[in-house]
């Protein structure tokens, strides 16, 4: 299933698991407990289109963006840099200094 089209679809808007996640949250973000318009976060895409109850979490927009950003950063943080990604020290764009050397 194509995620961008699914999220815009009536199937997603009417998804009973999504509606239950929103209902169970009783208008409060599951993370920060603020009363705000809620969005539904997919904790997994394994069951896209037939989500299980534990796949979805009702979050405010701010928490949804933070959680998504955090998870993306964590996913890509395990990628070992390739040699081409590392700037050589003689490159003028790299400062050869020790940021722990003091001055603060
Ligand atoms: Zn929140």
**Domains of the chain by range and CATH?**
3-78 (3.40.1800)
pLDDT digits (tens, 9 = 90+) for 31-87: 999 999 999 999 999 999 999 999 999 999 999 999 999 998 888 887 676 777 666
- Please tell me the pTM assigned to this model: 0.71
- Given a contact cutoff of 8 angstroms between Cβ atoms, the answer to whether 44 and 21 are in contact is no
For ligand 1, the distance from its centroid to the CA atom of residue 62, given in whole angstroms, is 6
For ligand 1, the distance from its centroid to the CA atom of residue 91, given in whole angstroms, is 43
C-alpha–C-alpha distance, residues 29 and 65, integer Å: 13
For ligand 1, the distance from its centroid to the CA atom of residue 82, given in whole angstroms, is 36
C-alpha–C-alpha distance, residues 97 and 99, integer Å: 6
For ligand 1, the distance from its centroid to the CA atom of residue 80, given in whole angstroms, is 32
- Given a contact cutoff of 8 angstroms between Cβ atoms, the answer to whether 49 and 82 are in contact is no
Q: What integer pLDDT is reported at residue 10 of this predicted model?
A: 96
pLDDT at 88 over 80: no
Between 14 and 75, the more confident residue is: 14
For ligand 1, the distance from its centroid to the CA atom of residue 55, given in whole angstroms, is 17
């Amino acid at each position: 299933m194509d995620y961008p089209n699914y999220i815009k679809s009536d199937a997603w808007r009417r998804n009973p698991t999504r509606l239950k996640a929103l209902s169970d949250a009783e208008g409060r973000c599951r993370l920060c407990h603020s009363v705000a318009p809620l969005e539904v976060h997919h904790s997994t895409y394994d069951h896209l289109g037939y989500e299980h109850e534990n796949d979805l979490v009702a979050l405010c927009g701010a928490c949804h963006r933070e959680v998504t950003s955090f998870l993306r950063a964590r996913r890509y943080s395990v990628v070992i840099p390739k040699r081409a990604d590392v700037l050589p020290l003689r490159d003028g764009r790299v400062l050869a200094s020790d940021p722990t050397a003091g001055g603060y």
